[in-house]
Structure formats: C-alpha cells, structure tokens
Amino acid sequence: MKVSLARIILFAYDVEKLKTFYADNLQLSVIEEIKNEWVVLNAHTMEIALHKIGEAYMPQPGTKFKAESNTKLVFNVPSNLTLLRQRFLNAGVYMNEITSFKGINSLFCDGEDPEGNVFQLEERL
C-alpha cells in the first residue's frame, strides 16, 4: 500500500488571523471553512488546515497565545527569496536571515506566523 500526505493541521487560538496570514502572504486559497473554528487552505501539493484549540489549551486571561510545536512548514519559492523575505519584514513578520547549507542547492529563510508557528521559505537554485 502506498500512502501520501494530504493535509497538515495546525491548532490555532485565532483561526481567522492565521487564515488571513497564510492567504495574504502566501496566496493560499480557502477551500473549506467553518467561521472561527476550522479552515482548509490549498497549499498546491497538499492542504493546511487550521483547527480552533480546545478550552483546555486557551491562554490565561491577559496572556498572549504562543504555539508550542516542533513542526516547521516549508514552502517552496520559485524565485527571488530576498524580495519575498523583505515583503514579510515590511508586513511586520518575524524573519531570520537567508541562509544556505553546504551540499544543498537551496536558499532558506525561517519565519514565524502570528501565533509563533515556524515556517520556512526555500528557493531551490
């Protein structure tokens, strides 16, 4: 049996804010939605779903929510990673410097979405 990864689900405090972040910055389209509870975004080769966290995971009043995850979403960038990184920085998104690794023919740049989920932009050279 051959299987393939079809969808990744991120649990979110503010589903609407994350939907807007990924739709606006990476041009991912919404393909399914239950307002403020559930969103599925078309990420071209797979789907990213945003699922409202349960009451047990809500932050204490007055405390900002920050995701605690060991997952990184990687998005392929066809060209001009430098320009895309600058667009994110201009929009107030936290972005690391562009880097490369010996033996890998790509440029990489990590950032964080509004809830602290780490994502990476990769430009294959």
pTM above 0.85, yes or no: yes
Average pLDDT for runs of 10 along the chain of length 125 = 91 96 96 97 95 85 83 94 96 97 97 96 96
Q: What is the pLDDT of residue 106?
A: 97
Domain 66-125 adopts which CATH fold? 2,3-Dihydroxybiphenyl 1,2-Dioxygenase; domain 1 (3.10.180)
Instruction: Please identify, in words, the CATH class of the domain defined by 1-59.
Output: alpha beta
Q: How far is CA 99 from CA 74, 106, 116, 117, in A?
A: 14, 9, 20, 19
Closest CA to 73 of 51, 55, 48, 99: 48
pLDDT of residue 68: 83
Q: What is the pLDDT of residue 63?
A: 83
Q: What is the pLDDT of residue 56?
A: 81
Q: What pLDDT score was predicted for residue 61?
A: 85
| Residue extent(s) of CATH 3.10.180.10 domains in the chain | 1-59, 66-125
